[in-house]
Amino acid sequence: QRSLLGLKDLSKEEIISILDRAAYWEAQPDKVKPVLQGKFVANMFFENSTRTRFSFEVAEKRLGAEVLNFSAAVSSVQKGESIYDTVRTLESMGIDAGVIRLKPIGVLADLATKIKVPLINAGDGNNEHPTQALLDIYTMRKHFGELKGLTVAIVGDILHSRVARSNLWALQKLGVQVRFCAPPNMVAADLAAEYISMEEALKADVIMMLRVQLERHENGMIKSAEDYREHYGLTVERAQRLAPHAIIMHPAPINRNVEIDDELVEHPQSRIFPQMENGVPVRMAVIERALV
Ligand code: CP
């Protein structure tokens, strides 16, 4: 029984083993294979989500688990109950694993020392979003076959991005060169990666556009959506300079016509919806790893 709190401390072998198991689940002809029959999994989202929450739910149901969906907005959190007391309450009721998304940084690491059931990080603050990075890497591996030697440019709000952090730490272990491109006020000084211009970013094998996270911004972090698009957006004109083999990625949700032009979201080189599709087998592998 294993938690998944992040990719920073996960070995290359463990990452590859999750990707391989996801490929196994993707290849299964049956939609449901009840290997987790009798297991109860709680999805505990203290921050909003569409993709992560529902793909975890689909993954759990495809494995035959009993699923409990907790939403902070309609819970006793609204009466002031703490995150710890909420998770401890669900643990007392007999859940076998918890999938958890949180806003405050550091709370998940602390919870994991106190809660006995495996916890899976579904995004904690700007720290890590391990299953997003795993599905991103799975998507890259599906397209390119081999990961070693690839170049990945991650463009946008690096400072607030848990997706950038998890991808950086995992991709570097897999021999991928990760470089960032960001406005000066969205640079993360704590991360060991080179910063490049937008022109350089267009030369990468993978260009991963990040959402401008307005909900995490202080006032005035971007001048305007138009200004951001002009300097850091993947516009139709810029996309014409990508290599023919290159792919476009974005974790979504997307601010269309801000970080990426509307016409590019379902462009032949875009893997944005395949990323969402790949999230299901990847999360099946992660849930199975936690419980079997
Ligand atoms: N990519 C991602 O985490 O999306 P949600 O916030 O909708 O889960």
Predicted local distance difference test score (pLDDT) of residue 144? 98
Q: Is 211 annotated as a binding residue?
A: yes
Atom of ligand 1 nearest to the CA of 251: 1
Ligand 1 proximity of 213 Cβ (cutoff 6 Å): no
Cα separation, 48 vs 278, in Å, equals: 21
The reported pTM is 0.97
172 backbone φψ class: left, alpha, beta (φ>0; ψ -120 to 50): alpha
- Provide the ipTM: 0.99
Q: By CB neighbour count within 10 A (0-12 exposed, 13-18 middle, 19+ buried), where does 23 fall?
A: middle
- For every residue of the chain, which 3-state class applies, written as one string? CCCECCCCCCCHHHHHHHHHHHHHHHHCCCCCCCCCCCCEEEEEECCCCCHHHHHHHHHHHHCCCEEEEEEHHHCHHHHCCCHHHHHHHHHHCCCCEEEEEECCCCHHHHHHHHCCCCEEEEEECCCECHHHHHHHHHHHHHHHCCCCCCEEEEECCCCCCHHHHHHHHHHHHCCCEEEEECCHHHCCCCCCCEECCHHHHCCCCEEEECCCCHHHCCCCCCCCHHHHHHHHCECHHHHCCCCCCCEEECCCCCCECCCECHHHCCCCCECHHHHHHHHHHHHHHHHHHHHC
Nearest to 271 by CA among 199, 183, 188, 205: 205
Asked whether the bond before 253 is cis by omega within 30 degrees of 0, the reply is yes
Judge contact between 234 and 259, C-beta under 8 A: yes
Average pLDDT estimate for 44-64: 97
Predicted local distance difference test score (pLDDT) of residue 178? 98
Question: Over 90: is that where the pLDDT of 44 sits?
Answer: yes
Decide whether 12-128+277-291 matches 130-272 in CATH topology: yes
Nearest to 106 by CA among 83, 90, 88: 83
The residue nearest atom 3 of ligand 1, judged by CA position, is 52
Average pLDDT estimate for 174-182: 98
Superfamily of domain 12-128+277-291: Aspartate/ornithine carbamoyltransferase (3.40.50.1370)
Question: Over 80: is that where the pLDDT of 12 sits?
Answer: yes
Q: Is 103 annotated as a binding residue?
A: no
Ligand 1 proximity of 254 Cβ (cutoff 6 Å): no
Judge contact between 288 and 63, C-beta under 8 A: yes
Predicted local distance difference test score (pLDDT) of residue 1? 64
Atom of ligand 1 nearest to the CA of 123: 3
Ligand 1 proximity of 130 Cβ (cutoff 6 Å): no
Measured in degrees and rounded to the nearest 5, phi and psi for residue 92 equal -60, -30
Predicted local distance difference test score (pLDDT) of residue 220? 73
Architecture of the domain made up of 130-272: 3-Layer(aba) Sandwich (3.40)
**Over the chain, what is the mean pLDDT?**
96
Question: Over 90: is that where the pLDDT of 69 sits?
Answer: yes
> Any idea where the domains of the chain sit in the sequence?
12-128+277-291, 130-272
Order across the sheet with 206-209: list the strands. 194-195, 177-181, 151-155, 206-209, 247-249
Average pLDDT estimate for 252-264: 97
151-155 and 177-181 beta bridge pairing:
parallel
Ligand 1 proximity of 215 Cβ (cutoff 6 Å): no
Atom of ligand 1 nearest to the CA of 50: 7
Query: At residue 177, what is the residue type?
Result: Q
Average pLDDT estimate for 54-73: 96
